[in-house]
Amino acid sequence: MGIVIAVISGKGGVGKTTATANLGLGIALNGKKCVVVDFDIGQRNLDMILGLENRVVYDMVQVMEEEANLKQALIKSKVSPNLYFLAASQTKDKSVLNSKKVEKLISELKEDFDFVILDSPAGIESGFEHTIEFADAAIIVVNPEVSSIRDADRAIGILDSKSAKVKNGEEVLKWLIINRIVADMVESGEMLRSNDILEILDIKLIGKIPEDKGVIDASNQGKPVILDKKSIAGQAYTRISGRLCGQKVDMKNVEISDSGLFKKIAGIFK
């Protein structure tokens, strides 16, 4: 039996889908069997970021409506044989989901995979609620800015009240990813520090990802940034994937800029 992880954020555009694609690939590269599911019905993006856009034949909704079986709909990644992808429907909307069908689909996926990663839609509507309902854990992606923090706070509140696990008296694991950190801005006090964010959200930190221009190009090309060994964001995703697979990976402080450190050292020799 695998673990079901929902990737949520509340606010849109903070990097949920990018995180889902990279962590899924990172976990697969660690040798675990992983499936990433796009729950953003009507606005699917994950296929593009994974570079599997032209492979989609059947989608999740067709599986739930029993128009196709799960094996037909699962798309194998070009990069790792351990990674599979299940697409969202682009033509239907969120109203086609219902709890029983979602539960059936997730329990089937859980049997075959070590990790089931669900990419949640932005917002806190029914699509979001269905994503978190049967999740064992949630990865909350935030940007270091107040609007993202508040929306994430709201999403965590709903997770804590509507998840099936919580209703059974168990706890949903919650891990925080702080995405798009600009070290210079944190140092100058323009950007929220991770300690401030952790104090507000009161959940466990699983990783910090620095701002990296390479992410956009990687997404456009359909090659997740984790494959780029030189990318600082890719390295951060590699560290987080390792932690998710149970490895002890030291936290790298991405809130200190290299140039700042260089300047400090240079300052000594002045």
Partner 1 sequence: MQSNQYSVKVFETTISDEQEFKEFFNINYTLFKDHLILIQGEMSDDIKNYLKDKKLQYLQNMNLPKGRSRKALEKEFKRLEIESAVTKQIAEAELKKLSHKLQNNLTVLDGMIRSGRELNIDGDLLLLNRVNSGATINTTGNLIITQVVEGAIRCNGSFMMLTASPKANIVFNNVEVDNSLLENRLNRVELKNDEIIITPVLKKEINWAL
Residues near partner 1 (CB under 8 A) are 146, 149-151, 153-154, 156-158, 160, 199-200, 202
Residue 70 or residue 158: which is nearer to partner 1 going by CB? 158
Residue 131 or residue 219: which is nearer to partner 1 going by CB? 131
Report in angstroms the alpha-carbon separations of 122 from 13, 59, 132, 166, 244: 8, 20, 12, 22, 23
Q: For the CB of residue 149, give the shortest distance to partner 1 in the complex, in Å.
A: 8
Integer Cα distance of 74 and 56 in angstroms: 9
Q: For the CB of residue 232, give the shortest distance to partner 1 in the complex, in Å.
A: 30
Q: How many other CB atoms sit within 10 Å of the CB of residue 128?
A: 24
Residue 131 or residue 231: which is nearer to partner 1 going by CB? 131
Residue 67 or residue 202: which is nearer to partner 1 going by CB? 202
Residue 126 or residue 257: which is nearer to partner 1 going by CB? 126
Integer Cα distance of 202 and 216 in angstroms: 30
Are β-strands 75-76 and 83-86 bridged in parallel, bridged antiparallel, or unpaired?
A: antiparallel
Q: Token pair of 37, please?
A: 């599911």
3-state secondary structure of 180: strand
Integer Cα distance of 121 and 173 in angstroms: 19
